[in-house]
Structure 1
Amino acid sequence: MPEEAAGGILRIDLTALASNWRSLRDRAGGAETAAVVKANAYGTGIEEAVPALAAAGCRTFFVAHPGEALRARNAAPRTTVYVLNGLLPGSAGFYAAHDVRPVLGSWPEIEEWAAFCRSQGRRLEAAIHVDTGMNRLGLTVGEGLALAARPELKDFTPALLMSHFVGAEERDNPLNARQIETFAAVRNALPGIPASLANSSGIFLPQKPHFDLVRPGYALYGGNPTPGAENPMRAVVGLEGRIVQLRWVETGDTVGYNGRWIAGERRRIATVSVGYADGYPRSASAPGRSGEALATGMALVGGHPCPFAGTVSMDLLAVDVTGAPEGALARGEPVTLIGGPLTVDEVGRRAGTIGYEILTGLGDRYRRVYTGSAR
């Protein structure tokens, strides 16, 4: 798709991605720095992001599903790939065939993996997940403490012991200290197994719970791992929509489905070729009257902040561009939907969600333009 024919253009800076990984590596205090590349590398593209991270020095990747593991394995053949969502019944052969590692989080998973390894006569690698507070996946703490006595550990190689923070982005959350202490106790009960607890925000905690390996995800892609403080990461993603039509609406006219936005005076509206089918959230819609201070969707048009007008629809959204520079207002001109002050965190806030959802929802209809490299 040539850029001139694309309704939306997604720009991904691979140099910034690699720089973010190096910055997190330098902060991790000697722990290995992995990369979480699930959800299509947070919307940036596994096939492009993984080689850039590998070229920067990353040697371990985490995904959520086996299909993502195949893509990561093909993109960086000489690296380690873990599948976070566990071992589904009957899937052990897949992992062995493609040299990827399951993250085992229950006794049935451990027993099935151990039985498969016995049947193959090989001690294959896997990670073990112990739940220290999320109550989502993982062995209980008691099960983790008792794991050393289990005979199944003789049948496979536990290559990593891991858990996951509940609220590391909240620096003073008392759960952080409790989880660090609990995880350290489980680690002490299983000596010799490399340990991993810290996600993006965990890397920045004052306790420095880096252990042997850290697993950043969101921060790699420009999200702020330290909410409330200045973002230490470089922006990776930029999104532009294209103006497909301009019109004036008169006082009292409505814009969009169900007439939820009303012009309080004569206003100029730009219709932009991006909608919720492209992953831009409908929750960024702007009901009300023009001129009201609404914390909803916003675009930059010629560098000028312009609020959305009405409901984000499947393929289109409307922007009130009355105050934008005239030179930026023409059919085909770009409007910035992510970029500059409209960071992924700010876009998420304005849509009543989080930057994670903005990134991972980036659709496949955009023209993707990759710039930079791992250098």
Structure 2
Amino acid sequence: MTKPQSHSKSQPQSTSDFSGTSPRLTVDLGAVVSNFKTLRDTVGQSGSSCAGVLKANSYGMGAERVAEALWAEGCKTFFAALVGEGVKLRALFPEATIYVLSPYLSLDAALLREHHLIPCLYDLEGIDLWIAANNTAAPAALHFETGINRLGLSTQDLEQLLGNRSRLNRLDLKLVMSHLSSADEQQSEHNQQQLEAFKRIRAEFPNAPASLANTAGIFLGPDYHFDLVRPGIGLYGHDPHYYENRGSRLKPVATFAAPLAQVKNLKAGEAVGYGATELDRDSTIGVILCGYADGVMRALFKPDSKEGHQVSINGHKAPILGRVSMDMITIDLTAVPKEAREIGSMVEIFGNHSPVENAAAMAGTSAYELFTRVSGRAVRKYV
């Protein structure tokens, strides 16, 4: 079997590799593999196989390195969001099955054919255009609408496909699929409604593999597994049911940290940062070299309540104090022992000691957004 092309560890991964003061995203590839095994084992008794969703540069983790780790563990099917992402994966994995999730456009036809990528088709027009672009049966996945109401073939489209099978006869149908809207809410009635809708659709294509579950869908149970599951966020360490279950079944993968650059002592009544957040007591303040240009959301500090996300420095918690600026964050080190706040110490914004779920809750967003917001200025380090 052809081996994937190895990633050159000697080549810099970004221009910030040359600066020791850059923020750092440390990606634990062993944890990625462990999470894949957990998810694969969860669906194994259902007879389902487990793909890997690598869109958005593997949720900011680095698609090439993540894909290499998954491939070595036996993951042979990948999903990309864009054709360009699929092309990059194909260069590394000549034998992989690679699906492209973005809607089909005619201008993508040549790249899809050249790199043997499988488009996901969402409407009759896209099906017709893809068929016309191929001289032989066109490989494709058909994505059906079951309740999320974004992209997807409608009930009317399904009736037309079944009423006149000329389109289907010109497709090499690789997969019938849909996507869950509310799988991260285990008790949502939408889950069962979408499951029943998908079962009815799947019954019309008995010879095609079927796929419904994302990471959260995997944990909804075997009824949702079908032939192929498509975990994304779970590979990268976030359990979508973290808040409901009060914990995770998966291992953290990403640690986002930045160096402590300065420590100073301030008096009560003095102010910190843009907007002049006034101190209620004498405080020790630290400045770390990271900000919203690196993907840290300003919502991690609440000016009205002076409540800040708890970061971690050498195992000690320290809240963000003052507004997040473009390149810097101020944190309250008053309760941190002097020996634990040396200049140059790495301050964890999220990771093993400051769960990304806590940061997401503070910012009113999701782990998905926090992962994908980490910018190219942050050095990616792999362990």
TM-score class, shorter-chain normalisation, is over 0.9
Letter in 2 for 1:23: T
Following superposition, the deviation at residue 207 of structure 1 comes to 5.3
Could you tell me how far apart the structure 1 residues matched to 2:314 and 2:107 are?
A: 55
Q: Aligned runs of 1:255-274 on 2, under 5 Å?
A: 255-259=272-276, 261-274=277-290
> Is 1:284 aligned with 2:284?
no
Equivalent residue number for residue 122 of structure 1:
136
2:377 aligned to which of 359, 362, 365: 365
- The answer for the alignment partner of 2:367 in structure 1 is 355
Q: How many residues align?
A: 363
Q: Secondary structure of 2:107's match? A: coil
Q: Name the counterpart of 1:40.
A: 57
Question: What's the counterpart of residue 167 of structure 2?
Answer: 152
Q: 2:146 aligns with which of 105, 125, 132?
A: 132
1:67 pairs with 2:84:
yes
Q: Residue deviations 1:14-58, cap 9 Å, x none?
A: 111011111111111221100111011011101100111111111
Preserved contact between residue 202 and residue 208 of structure 1 (Cα < 8 Å): no
1:179-237 CA distance string (max 9 Å, x none): 11110101111221111000001001135311110000011100013231121001111
The structure-2 alpha-carbon separation of the partners of 1:84 and 1:160, relative to structure 1 and needing over 3 Å to count, comes to same
Structure 1 residue ranges without an equivalent (≥5): none
Q: How much has 1:286 moved relative to structure 2?
A: 3.7
Query: Are 2:346 and 1:307 aligned?
Result: no
Q: TM-score if structure 2 supplies the norm length?
A: 0.91
Within 2, Cα distance between the matches of 1:201 and 1:138? Answer: 20
Q: Does 1:106 align with 2:123?
A: yes
Among all aligned residue pairs of Structure 1 and Structure 2, give the percentage whose two residues are the same amino acid: 36
Q: Which runs of 5+ in 2 are unaligned?
A: 1-15
In 1, Cα distance between the equivalents of 2:98 and 2:292? 32
SS at match of 2:26: strand
Aligned 8 A contact 1:302 1:325 in 2: no
Alignment counterpart, residue 67 of structure 2, candidates 32, 50, 62? 50
Q: 3-state DSSP class of the match of 2:382?
A: strand
Opposite residue 298 of structure 1, the aligned amino acid is Q
- The 3 A distance-change label for structure 1 pair 218 and 338 is same
| Residues 222-261 of structure 1 aligned to structure 2 (within 5 Å) | 222-227=237-242, 228-229=244-245, 230-259=247-276, 261=277
1:337-356 equivalences in 2 (<5 Å):
337-356=349-368
Instruction: State the superposition RMSD in angstroms.
Output: 1.6
Structure 1 position 147, deviation (Å): 2.0
The one-letter code sitting in structure 2 at the alignment partner of 1:143 is: D
Q: CA deviation at 1:71?
A: 1.8
Q: Give 1:2 deviation, angstroms.
A: 5.9
Deviation of 1:279 (Å): 1.0
Q: Please, what TM-score do these two structures have when normalized by structure 1? A: 0.93
Q: CA, structure 1 residues 307+225, in 2 after alignment: closer, same or farther (shift >3 Å)?
A: same
Counterpart check, 1:327 vs 2:344: no
